[in-house]
Amino acid sequence: MVIAINPLQPQDSFESAGQGLSDGAWDFQGQDTRCSTHAIHTYVAAMIPGLARKLIDTYVPTGGSVLDPFCGGGAVLVEAIRSGREAVGRDINNLAVLVSKAKTTYIDGDSISRIGARVLAQAKNYNGLPMRFGKLEYVEFWFKDYMLLPLTALKISIDAIDSPDLRTLFRVLFSTTVRNVSLTYRNEVRLRRMSTVEQEKFNPDVFAEFTDQVRLAAQRVPQLPMTARADVEKEDSRHLRFSNEAVDAIICSPPYGDERNGVNYTQFAKNMLYWLGYGRQDLKDSKALSLGWGKAERVVPPSATLFNTLEAMQDNPVAVREAIAFYADYYETLRQLARVVRQRVIIVIGNRVLHRTILNNAQITAELMDSIGVPLEVAHFRRLPSKRLPKMREFGAAIDQEAILVFKK
């Protein structure tokens, strides 16, 4: 494989510039991550609300607009809305789009409780058959048999809700119910089936679980500002359809291109999406848009740090190819971000370990943005809670901090 010669020299590393260490100001250790509508759905690798809020308060003009092109569970959007900013979210995962919409759309508490009671009553009267899934979808494996009927009944009565906003909210509450009753460990990033012993003790009541979710939503959603509504769409970050300089700021935590081995957003969402009625092709289509998923030969983007790291990995061409695929897509995204923003692009990112090699994502991002003409204004660093990304520890490298990179146009 040919790697393009990269003429750039690495920028001064953050470490040698006296940065690279957390001063604690951006850690938010022990902070409540379940305030407001954040509690409604736990999306994987979510940004801490306190971090999103501090970034918005510090770097986004009052009343300005914030785009999160990888909005996931909507943490940045919720904080943008709560702070009176305009919130715009994009993601390729259908679950992320639904969750982000539900968490940022005001609905009054009475309507939520009333529709919740109706859905439940209808579901309890359901006398049809349980939904069945295809062999390849492999859904039933994650549930006990007794759960299939109440889940089916809930899904059918939620699909019949007329109001699009209420239907979206209830689809999200249903997806949380699906996740909470499934036979997987909820504090793990990847799906892993409970042991037989644990399964024996795990017999949640599906309707009771759903009722808890409705109660929580009826309390939290009305706390949003009454005019709250974010602009959330399914869109690939490499092909944003905004005009130039359409938003004041961008705040995001990008994927790391480790869909295959690390944080697999498609796998995380799969059971929820199948229950919501999405098909195998829908999941495949979304996955195909994940940064780094494409198979075509790509050119190394202009980062000397990346180039040097890839050179050191030459004995592992599969890993090199995987890294190039991701960073080429990532570079395309960064160019889009630089185009659509008026002021600042803020990227929260940690390092990645690929086949035992550390890829310094903060350094690489800074060099790529520099080449696009949007230089680094300031970098902050924060320690990660120890339980985050536990898998990474297996590779012997402690991914225990992440960088907050602020770029100014």
Using CB under 6 A, which of 64, 89, 150, 255 touches ligand SAM?
A: 255
Cα 95 to Cα 72: distance, rounded to the nearest angstrom? 8
Distance of CA 259 to the CA centre of its chain: 12
Interface characters, 25-64, with ligand SAM (x: CB under 6 A): ------------------x-xxx-----------------
**Alpha helix segments (H runs only) across 37-108:** 49-59, 75-82, 94-103
Helices (H) and strands (E) in the chain, counts: 13, 9
Q: Smallest Cα–Cα separation from 15: which of 318, 360, 292, 293? A: 360
Single residue of 67, 75, 359, 369 touching ligand SAM by CB under 6 A: 75
- Choose one: 72-80, 134-142, 197-205, 275-283; the region binding ligand SAM (CB under 6 A): 72-80
Alpha-carbon 264 to chain mean position: 10
- Binding of residue 73 to ligand SAM (CB under 6 A): yes
Query: Residue 193 Cβ, how far from ligand SAM at the closest point, in Å?
Result: 23
SS3 at position 3? coil
| Rounded least distance, CB 145 to ligand SAM, Å | 31
Q: Closest separation between CB of residue 227 and ligand SAM, Å?
A: 23
Residue of the chain from 66, 119, 291, 359 that contacts ligand SAM (CB under 6 A):
291
- Which segment (85-93, 107-115, 158-166, 372-380) binds ligand SAM by CB under 6 A? 85-93
CB of 332 to ligand SAM, least distance (A): 9
Tell me the C-alpha distance between 385 and 31, whole Å: 11
169 binds ligand SAM (CB under 6 A): no
Place of tokens 């938010």: 28
CA–chain centroid gap for 208, Å, is 28
Residue 164: helix, strand or coil by DSSP? helix
* 92 contributes a contact to ligand SAM by CB under 6 A: yes
- Does residue 250 belong to the site contacting ligand SAM (CB under 6 A)? no
Contact segment (CB under 6 A) with ligand SAM among 69-77, 143-151, 182-190, 200-208 equals 69-77
Of the candidates 114, 179, 189, which has an alpha carbon nearest to the alpha carbon of residue 147?
A: 179
Query: In whole angstroms, what is the distance from residue 124 CA to residue 152 CA?
Result: 11
- Nearer CB in complex with ligand SAM: 68/86: 68
Cβ nearer to ligand SAM, comparing 153 with 240: 240
The Cα 67–Cα 362 span in angstroms is 20
Question: What residues from 218 to 247 belong to the interface with ligand SAM (CB under 6 A)?
Answer: 236-238
Output 33 or 357, the one with its CB closest to ligand SAM: 33
Tokens of 192: 């892993």
Residue of minimal Cβ distance to ligand SAM: 72
3 state SS of 214: helix
The number of angstroms, rounded, from the C-alpha of 350 to the middle of its chain's C-alpha atoms is 14
Find where tokens 């957003």 sit: 265
Residue 179, amino acid: R
Q: Which region, judged by CB under 6 A, interacts with ligand SAM, from 189-197, 206-214, 289-297, 373-381?
A: 289-297
- Shortest spacing between CB 33 and ligand SAM, in angstroms: 10
Closest Cα to residue 108, out of 163, 26, 152, 189?
A: 163
Our finding on whether 264 is near ligand SAM (CB under 6 A) is no
CB of 127 to ligand SAM, least distance (A): 38
CA 316 to chain centre: 29
DSSP 296-364: S--PPPS-HHHHHHHHHTTT-HHHHHHHHHHHHHHHHHHHHHHHHEEEEEEEEEE-EEETTEEE-HHHH
Among 22, 37, 93, 157, binds ligand SAM (CB under 6 A): 93
| 100 close to 168: Cβ distance less than 8 angstroms | no
Task: Give the count of residues interacting with ligand SAM (CB under 6 A).
Answer: 24
Q: Which residues contact ligand SAM (rule: CB under 6 A)?
A: 43, 45-47, 69-70, 72-73, 75-76, 90-93, 96, 236-238, 253, 255, 265, 289-291
